[in-house]
A and B are shown apart, each in its own frame.
Chain A
Amino acid sequence: MTAVSGRAALANAAEAAVVALACGGDDGAFEELVRRRQGALRALLRRLCGNAALADDLAQQSFVQAWTRLSSLRAPGAFGGWLRQIAVNTWLAQSRLKAPVAAPLAEEFEDPATADPSLALDLDRLLRRLGEGERTCVVLAYAEGLTHAEIAAMTGWPLGTVKSHVLRGSARLREWWTDAP
């Protein structure tokens, strides 16, 4: 009963307060953060790697890494950006280690919460045709709304490389969209 009421209190608390509790070693508070942030993080990783199962594995790794490194979080309000940085690093490490991920079946992306599944599937198919560098930059620029400089800082890639990835990637998407029936 206490656990349930504790969980309900956490669910209603402001995120900065939950982060502060998690930093103090409260595992229940961290699970609440996972509950709140999992949707956005798994969606980002699905876009980046193009494979739902792998994306969930990477999201799990990212959360566990975040949990072990909570002491390095400077401000509770920065939790979202900090977690996203960990997720992108996890994805980049994965893409450096492993061969390109095989394109999954389109059905994997079907999700009842998706506002417009036809648009999502269309976009996911096209994103999977991009190279990993282009896909990473395009997703961070358009889905996450990051500037080129922020993407460069996040990935460690030179600014010129990021700009050309975004430019080339979006040009290809535009071309494929135009060609699409």
Chain B
Amino acid sequence: MHSDFDDEMRRRFAAAEPVKADEAFVLRVGDAMRRRRRQERVLAVLGVTVLVLGIGLAAPRLAPLFELAQRAGGAIATVAGSAPDSPVAAAVLGGLLIAGATVGWSLRRL
């Protein structure tokens, strides 16, 4: 439905635009962008610090998990017909298996 009123409305909106471009506003947005970047950097540093501290504090409790991953990796390598090169390689393989299974299970629940 198109009417004279619609035309009048569009004419009035068109008559009022645009707001005058303002360099101060550009500077203001630039400042906000730099502030945001600084905040992100601080958060990233904080995140890494917390992660490192967390791993350090939790390391004694991670031993059983490491052992579990090592056994899982060793089992896969054995089934695949090759012995794992080292306990760490077995643990990495097992860790990947456990992480993959966890992610797959999480995705199915979504």
- Give residues in A with beta carbon < 8 Å to B: 27, 30-31, 34-35, 38-40, 42-43, 46-47, 56, 59-60, 63-64, 67-68, 111-116, 119-120, 122-124, 138-139, 142-143, 145, 170, 173-174
Contacts and interface: CB of A to CB of B under 8 A. Distances in A.
Contacts of B13: 47, 123, 139, 142-143
Interface string B8-29: 0110111111111111011011
Dominant SS among interface residues on chain A: helix
A60 B28 contact: yes
B17 A42 contact: no
Contacts of B14: 115
Given A39-B20, A170-B5, A174-B5, A31 B12 contact: no
Nearest to A115: B15
Contacts of B12: 119-120, 122-123
A60 B20 contact: no
A38 B19 contact: yes
Interface stretch (B30-38, B47-55, B80-88, B90-98): B30-38
A38 B26 contact: yes
Interface residues of B, number: 24
B21 A170 contact: no
A135 to B, nearest CB: 12
Contact of A56 (B5, B6, B25): B25
A138 B57 CA distance: 58
A42 B29 contact: no
Contacts of B36: 64, 67-68
B17 A142 contact: no
A145 B32 CA distance: 31
Contacts of B22: 38
Given A116-B15, A122-B12, A123-B13, A31 B29 contact: yes
Contact of A142 (B9, B18, B25): B9
